[in-house]
């Protein structure tokens, strides 16, 4: 996952921007409320609502280059395709409520910018998993990257 080439950084920006905007939309999701025994119910949907990108999106205090047509178009595409996958988006939001407090403490303890918590949503949808390519864990780190960085 950690790669300094421009395409990888741009992809991370687009995915992170998508997750930030989706979670922001979810914050204002009036039908998303707690029910009995900790279950959640959705009585409102995003159907027929257009999504307007903000003028500025930042990640770890870095401004996303939305003035670049390709970047803006990629972000718009990711937002639209993610926002209308209702069941998947709702599951991500539910998992975020469970895992974000833990992730935020770990990031703070290690002096990592708080925005990196959103990469978990983009990479694994808050699931501790192994991809078909071998990427592992919440952040989907490839084994080679882990070895290069000295992680176990």
pTM exceeds cut of 0.75: no
In angstroms, the CA 22 to CA 18 distance is 6
Q: What does the pLDDT read at residue 94?
A: 86
Q: What does the pLDDT read at residue 143?
A: 86
Tens-digit pLDDT string for the chain (152 aa)? 444 455 555 566 666 666 666 666 555 544 444 444 444 444 444 455 566 778 888 888 888 898 998 888 888 887 777 777 777 778 888 888 889 999 999 999 989 899 888 888 888 888 888 888 998 888 888 888 888 888 76
Q: How far does Cα 19 stand from its chain's mean position?
A: 4
For the chain, domain boundaries: 6-27+55-119
In angstroms, the CA 136 to CA 92 distance is 18
Q: Torsion-angle region of residue 81: left (phi > 0), alpha (psi -120 to 50) or beta?
A: alpha
């Amino acid at each position: 996952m950690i790669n300094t080439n421009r395409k990888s950084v741009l992809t991370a920006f687009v995915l992170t921007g998508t997750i930030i905007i989706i979670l922001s939309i979810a914050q204002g999701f009036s039908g998303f409320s707690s029910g009995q025994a900790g279950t959640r119910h959705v009585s409102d949907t995003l159907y027929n609502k257009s999504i307007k990108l903000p003028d500025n999106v930042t990640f770890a205090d870095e401004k996303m280059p939305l003035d670049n047509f390709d970047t803006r178009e990629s972000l718009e595409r990711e937002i639209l395709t993610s926002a209308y996958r209702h069941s998947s988006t709702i599951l991500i939001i539910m998992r975020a409520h469970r895992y974000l407090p833990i992730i935020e403490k770990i990031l703070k303890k290690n002096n990592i910018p708080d925005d990196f918590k959103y990469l978990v949503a983009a990479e694994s949808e808050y699931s501790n998993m192994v991809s078909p390519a071998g990427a592992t864990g919440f952040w989907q780190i490839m084994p080679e990257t882990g070895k290069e960085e000295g992680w176990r």
